[in-house]
């Protein structure tokens, strides 16, 4: 039954039913139950269809959110999917992992007094329904083109660019050093936020559409970048950033003080059925341990909630600012609190102690001072205010930086910024090497999946313009 719009004055905001915290702690299933059709339609009908949709303005992909909300409310879900997929390569993934409370939902015009429209859950419902009904098809070009494009990195940016270029008719090969496509969507994001078959089915869909994946291939080691440049009309670098920012505090080299990504990759690989020696030895397994996670972003939330599910004796998040200044999603913080995570606000690690292996964290109590030039309050230590936290495992979740890129690709001509990211012409997204483009975290720094998708779609258009400017070659006859 079609719903009328502007129902926010009658209907309260509702998220899909959340699984009980005790049940969540015991398995790796997603937190929220699927939306039923009636509930999704009702929540979509709360949209005010405003003239200036701030949800769309504040979405990195500028998704046509009011349009697919209205179609969902009217029961026209297949059309809603077509609208969602027109601007978003992975709407089912964004519906799960995007921090909607900071983006679309957080900028909904009915937020004040009525609570925002439940955008993320409706987006997830639309695309899950599309997969279930068989509406999601492999990328099929109208005309095949002879030129090929090589893409280094099978994460959000690389996959988004591959899909768009393939739809344009190019022959696309994706190279990745891992054994599965998806990048951090596979190895960095835990199952309780994004189940892995959701990512892997996209790889199969793309293979069915003619995209070639060469996995377990590290460009710069197994194959030189120069070979890819000779083989393809254009090359895209979309490798992301994986190098963990380190802690220089005393004791940081003790056994048991580990980077967040090492910990998350080990956990995800174990869940996928891989042999993981560091996990099996207990080095990266939180079971029975007192765990302290240092950091306050979304990666830190992934770590604390993973440790809970591994059966940690206790899990503490140590963050140097207060809750209001935390960069991570407040929805994720709430979920972590429900699952038993303890938050030590306004605390920063001063040192780590133990005999050969970490036994605890000595932390400094902080307070918030005056705002700096960016408007964010500065943090200052409170003299003499030290405290200890018991810890058998300390996880450093302080963000990520790029690897040493010219050396990694054995290509000194690649220019980098002062932050170590690849330098590109921001109009064309091309690097200092002609025909070599870059997009995603390797250019903008560690960011969200949705920004990787946006960059991948944008760079695909730039690659198309570049190749066409070189002169069209005869097309391949479509089968």
- Dihedrals phi, psi of 472, to nearest 5 degrees: -75, 135
Name the phi and psi angles at 175, rounded to 5: -105, 135
Q: Residues, the chain, total? A: 479
Collect all residues with Cβ–Cβ distance below 8 Å to 337 and sequence separation of at least 6: 343
CATH numbers and ranges of domains, the chain? 7-133 (1.10.1060.10), 148-241+402-469 (3.50.50.60), 246-396 (3.50.50.60)
Q: Quick one: pLDDT at residue 472?
A: 58
pLDDT tens for the chain, 479 residues long, are: 566 887 888 899 999 999 999 999 999 999 998 898 999 999 999 999 998 999 999 999 999 999 999 999 999 999 999 999 999 999 999 999 999 988 999 999 887 777 899 999 999 999 999 999 999 999 999 999 999 999 999 999 999 999 999 999 999 999 999 999 999 999 999 999 999 999 999 999 999 999 999 999 999 889 999 999 999 999 999 998 888 888 889 999 999 999 999 999 999 999 999 999 999 999 999 999 999 999 999 999 999 999 999 999 999 999 999 998 888 888 899 999 999 999 999 999 999 999 989 999 999 999 998 888 877 888 999 999 999 999 999 999 998 888 766 667 778 888 888 888 999 999 999 999 999 999 999 999 999 999 999 999 999 999 999 999 987 554 454 44
Contact, 184 vs 476, CB < 8 A?
no
Residue 26 per-residue DSSP state: T
> Is residue 183 within 8 Å of 400, Cβ to Cβ?
no
Token pair 């036994």 is at which residue? 359
**Of 145, 95, 114, which Cα lies nearest the Cα of 46?**
114
pLDDT in tens, 3-47: 688 788 889 999 999 999 999 999 999 999 889 899 999 999 999
In this structure, the strands spanning 360-371 and 377-390 are: antiparallel
* 3-state secondary structure at position 298: helix
For 50-132, list the strands marked E by DSSP: none
Provide DSSP, 227-277: HHHHHSSEEEE-----EEPP--STTTTSBTEEEHHHHHHHHHHHHTT---H
Under 8 Å between Cβ of 402 and 418: no
**Which DSSP letter does residue 395 get?**
E
The whole model's pTM is what?
0.92
Dist. CA 73–CA 37, nearest whole Å: 9
Alpha helices (H) along 339-448: 405-408, 441-444
Distance CA 152, CA 156 (A): 12
Residue 212 token pair: 């070639």
């Amino acid at each position: 039954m079609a719903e009328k719009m502007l129902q926010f004055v009658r209907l309260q905001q509702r998220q899909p039913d959340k699984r009980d915290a005790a049940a969540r702690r015991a398995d790796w299933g997603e937190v929220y139950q699927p939306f039923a059709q009636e509930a999704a339609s009702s929540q979509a009908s709360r949209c005010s269809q405003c003239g200036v949709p701030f949800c769309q303005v504040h979405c990195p992909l500028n998704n046509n959110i009011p349009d697919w909300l209205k179609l969902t409310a009217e029961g026209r879900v297949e059309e809603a999917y077509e609208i969602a997929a027109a601007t978003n390569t992975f709407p089912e993934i964004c519906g799960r992992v995007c921090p909607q409370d900071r983006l679309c939902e957080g900028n909904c015009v009915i937020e004040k007094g009525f609570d925002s429209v439940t955008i993320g859950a409706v987006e997830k419902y639309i695309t899950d329904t599309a997969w279930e009904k068989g509406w999601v098809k492999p990328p099929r070009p109208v005309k095949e083109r002879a030129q090929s494009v090589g893409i280094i990195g099978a994460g959000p940016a690389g996959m988004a660019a591959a899909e768009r270029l393939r739809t344009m008719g190019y022959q696309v090969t994706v190279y990745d050093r891992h054994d599965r496509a998806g990048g951090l969507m596979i190895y960095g994001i835990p199952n309780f936020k994004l189940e892995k078959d959701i990512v892997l089915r996209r790889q199969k869909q793309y293979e069915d559409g003619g995209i070639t994946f060469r996995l377990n291939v590290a460009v710069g080691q197994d194959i030189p970048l120069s070979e890819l440049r000779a083989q393809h009309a254009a090359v895209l670098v979309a490798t992301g950033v994986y190098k963990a920012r380190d802690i220089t505090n005393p004791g940081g080299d003790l056994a048991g003080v580990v980077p967040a990504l090492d910990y998350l990759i080990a956990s995800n690989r174990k869940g996928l059925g891989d042999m993981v020696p560091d996990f099996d030895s207990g080095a990266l397994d939180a079971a029975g341990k007192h765990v302290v996670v240092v950091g306050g972003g979304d990666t830190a939330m992934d770590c604390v909630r993973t440790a809970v599910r591994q059966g940690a004796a206790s899990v503490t998040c140590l963050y140097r600012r207060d809750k209001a200044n935390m960069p991570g999603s407040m929805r994720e913080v709430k979920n972590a609190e429900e699952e038993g995570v303890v938050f030590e606000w306004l605390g920063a690690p001063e040192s780590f102690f133990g005999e050969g292996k970490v036994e605890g964290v000595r932390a400094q109590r902080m307070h918030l001072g005056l705002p700096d030039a960016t408007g964010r309050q500065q943090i200052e230590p409170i003299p003499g205010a030290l405290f200890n936290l018991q810890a058998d495992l300390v996880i450093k979740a302080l963000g990520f930086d790029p690897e040493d890129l010219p050396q990694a690709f054995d290509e000194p001509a690649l220019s980098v910024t002062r932050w170590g990211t690849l330098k590109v012409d921001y109009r064309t997204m091309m690097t200092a090497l002609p025909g070599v483009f870059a997009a995603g975290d390797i250019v903008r720094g560690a960011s969200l999946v949705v920004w990787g998708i946006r960059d991948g779609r944008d760079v695909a258009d730039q690659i198309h313009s570049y190749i066409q400017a070189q002169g069209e070659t005869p097309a391949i006859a479509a089968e």
